[in-house]
Structure 1
Amino acid sequence: MLKEQEQFERAERADRLKWARERAGFRGPKSVAEAIDINVNNYKAHESGRNGFGIADAKRYAKTFGVNLNWLQFGQGEPDDADDSPSVVTDVPRISWVSAGQLLEQPTVTDFSNFPTEPAIDLPEGNWICLEVEGNSMNKISPPESLIFVNLKDKRLVANACYVISDETGAITYKRYRPNDTPPFQPASYEEVEPPRLKGAVAVVGRVRRSVINL
């Protein structure tokens, strides 16, 4: 079952889609389907909010209805904002913490097609995954249920940067790198949280370059 926030965002996106379609002069879903050669039932599901739609569909709808992509997909800005410098939107695989740990065992894994995705605007070049934060150990940066975007290609350690790491047991955690502390991977919390008890050698899964708070 979708979480309440996801349901809300889907419904809001569907409302914007319907508004854009009506303003553009399309009488109903059938006329849209005929104009851009898509399945009418798929479009109906998008406009009703029964099914969500990703970036590829959003780009097509935004172009067809003459509205700004970021407004349609994310509710950012206004529908008539110009796309003079259009944002690059990436669908990032959203995987579990267990799956993240398995990436260290299979470093050549690149097929994330079976995972759901989260859209992200203007990410730097990299190999990205998305994780949902659990617990309060990093709540100064990422409260529980925040989404973090992790670059699997960026493993270089930088003081005060944040990383997803794993120890020899395969346990995965998200911490800030503090090279002068022991251990060097520390929580960043408003609460009294003990540092992780890491066993054996520590491997970097990737650097966290963005944290998104769900409101």
Structure 2
Amino acid sequence: MTPQHARAQRLRESRIAAGYRTGRDAALAFGWNLNTYASNENGNAPFSYSRAKAYAEAFGVRHEWLYEGESPTGSDVAEPRRDARFVPVIGKVGADPEGAVLFATGQGTGDLVPLPPGGTERAVALQVVGHSMPGLADNGGLIYFEDQRTPPTPDMLGQVVVVETDTDEVLVKRLLRGSRSKLYDLESVNGPTRRDCKLRWAAHITAIIPPHQARKILRPV
């Protein structure tokens, strides 16, 4: 990993630890340019030392660690890092009153769960609430995915995936082709299909944990 991408990874970790589900949420909260922040966090554009200070102050971390990856010289206090064996539960996934629309809340629960088999540092989880996904995930279960924020890929078609729409909704849906390029139909596990949606990103579900096991592995923080 290059220094630029390592710095971007630390920025992402800081944002998640501070309780902001997406880079967009953080940028809006602090009045940052959305495109600039996104480019800084995904590693496409480097950020300066002065910008690191602003990000560090916002997310409650040391700017020396954020920029250089280490604590200030002479400090005996290391920058807190998330245990690599655990990943954050970034929200709850459930149904609206009609049981038609699956959604994720905009704020994390504060809990951690073990890294799933094959998971990377980008792994995150959603906790299932309600009974809108029979046969897929039950109330109290966990849905893991890799939070890579990349456009849908052909191998996702026909699969149940996690997506974000251009209307800021995070959904668990079966991904289908729309009526034209870059539009997608989103089929609910239990509800009507949404037609011709524009998506910001899509991610494969990497693991589903049943409720009885989820209760054993949730780690409040």
Higher-strand-fraction structure: 2
TM above 0.5, yes or no, is no
TM range (shorter): 0.3 to 0.5
TM-score by length of 2: 0.41
TM-score by length of 1: 0.42
